[in-house]
Amino acid sequence: MLIGVPTETTVGETRVAATPETVKKLMASGHVVRVQSGAGLAASATDSAYAAVGAEIVDAAGALGCEIVLKVRAPFDDELGLMKPGTVVVGMLNPFDADGLQRMASANLTAFALEAAPRTTRAQSMDVLSSQANIAGYKAVMIAADKYQRFFPMLMTAAGTVKAARVVVLGVGVAGLQAIATAKRLGAVIEASDVRPSVKEQVESLGAKFIDVPYETAEEKDAAEGVGGYARPMPPSWLARQQVEVAKRVAMADVVISTALIPGRAAPTLITAEMVQSMKAGSVIVDIAAGRGADGVGGNCTLSEAGKTVRKHDVTIVGETNLPALVAADASSLYARNVLDFLKLVLPKEGGIKIDLEDDIVAACLVARDGQVTRKST
Ligand code: NAD
């Protein structure tokens, strides 16, 4: 098959959907790969590195005009205009964006949104949410350590003792777990909160303390179990008790990393303006959910501003919306491997494309085909 790798055009997007490593493997399987000139540059993958493994270096039309197009982000209209009807596009195509799905369907694309893959053992090697959230959790702590004007570890020096930083992590999915692990490596003292009770053991195994908020009613217990490993919105009664507990910890924290998300819904508000006001001067909040709150600007913190770092009530609030793009090389390497593993499901050895809807991963990721949106976006 003819496989294209265009340059991403989303502002701030530095990642690329195929690296020289994965291009080499695709070529070894008999495919022809066309990479847009400069596509990998921001991720430290040069045209010459792609050419060295046999890729053809082409312009945007050359890459987008292939039978299969590998993307990081959903294509914009000008990119859709360069894609032929029937093109297979694979990427993080935002399965909850009904308009975006419709645009791809109207362009007659066969589109696979990898974020929609089930969180199963078989899908692990193509789990883009995990590979990228892991990076986001790491980078959030790196940014916090950079903005924070004190040490993370406890230090005993001739000039006196420095206390360890207190870090609170809100939401302990993949990003939260990596944030805990990274903050721990730097010597911080960490507490964490999540709605899902199964997380407690994982938090403790990383050497952090779980903020216990007991479930008092059957409705609370039921909601906390979530669905498919994901959180569901919790009843207001539990959220109110959680907020009291979290508020106490946030007031004492030096750094808060918030990562709480509910798929297809607005991010829950966990840090109010009053809570920010209660924090010590010089504290830092990194809100991974920035821009995903109900107003599209805030995130888990109401004072976050998507894409900006702001200082409010003497607290630095980082609202970076694409943390993986700040670790472009490794984010691309891992993403490209996810894409390659997914392609194995739809590119049989005997050639051509096979869309087997009996395969739960293929069926879940297929969002548009034959002019139709094939997935509900809510
Ligand atoms: P996510 O990004 O959707 O959400 C982040 C975290 O926020 C979740 O842990 C969620 O429970 C939490 N959250 C939501 N509302 C909250 C609130 N009000 N207060 C505090 N926390 C709140 O999650 P994710 O990282 O994508 O992980 C989702 C699930 O998938 C997890 O159960 C994870 O273990 C599972 N998973 C499974 C596999 C696999 O088996 N292959 C791989 C990766 C992840």
Active site residue 295: no
* pLDDT tens profile 295-321: 989 999 999 999 999 999 999 999 999
215 is catalytic: no
- Looking from the CA of residue 174, the nearest atom of ligand 1 is 25
Q: Which of 195, 237, 243 to mutate for ligand 1's pocket (most ligand atoms within 8 Å of CB)? A: 195
pLDDT of residue 214: 87
Q: In the chain, pLDDT over 70 holds for what percent of residues?
A: 99
Q: Which of 130, 131, 193, 333 is catalytic?
A: 130
pLDDT (mean) for 90-97? 96
- For residues 181 and 262, which has the higher predicted lDDT (pLDDT)? 181
Beta bridge partners of 227: 230
Respond yes or no: is residue 124 known to be catalytic: yes
Residue 326 alpha carbon to ligand 1 centre in Å:
22
- pLDDT, one tens digit per residue, over 125-159 is 999 999 999 999 999 999 999 999 999 999 999 99
The answer on pLDDT for 229 being more than 80 is no
Mean pLDDT, to the nearest integer, of 88-104? 96
Mutate to test the pocket of ligand 1, among 259, 302, 334, 338 (most ligand atoms within 8 A of CB): 259
Residue 294: pLDDT over 70:
yes
- How sure is the predictor about 231, in pLDDT bands with cuts at 50, 70 and 90? confident
Is the model's pLDDT at 100 over the cut of 90? yes
Give the model's pLDDT for residue 376. Answer: 63
- This complex has an ipTM of 0.95
Q: 88-96 — which CB contacts under 8 Å span 24+ positions?
A: 88/112, 88/346, 88/353, 90/17, 90/114, 90/339, 90/342, 90/343, 91/17, 91/339, 92/128, 92/132, 93/367, 95/367, 95/375, 95/377, 96/263, 96/264, 96/377, 96/378
pLDDT of residue 228 exceeding 80, the answer is no
Pocket test for ligand 1, best of 261, 272, 292 (most atoms within 8 A of CB): 261
Pocket of ligand 1 (CB under 6 A): 119-121, 124, 127, 129-130, 133, 170-176, 193-196, 229-231, 234, 259-263, 268, 270
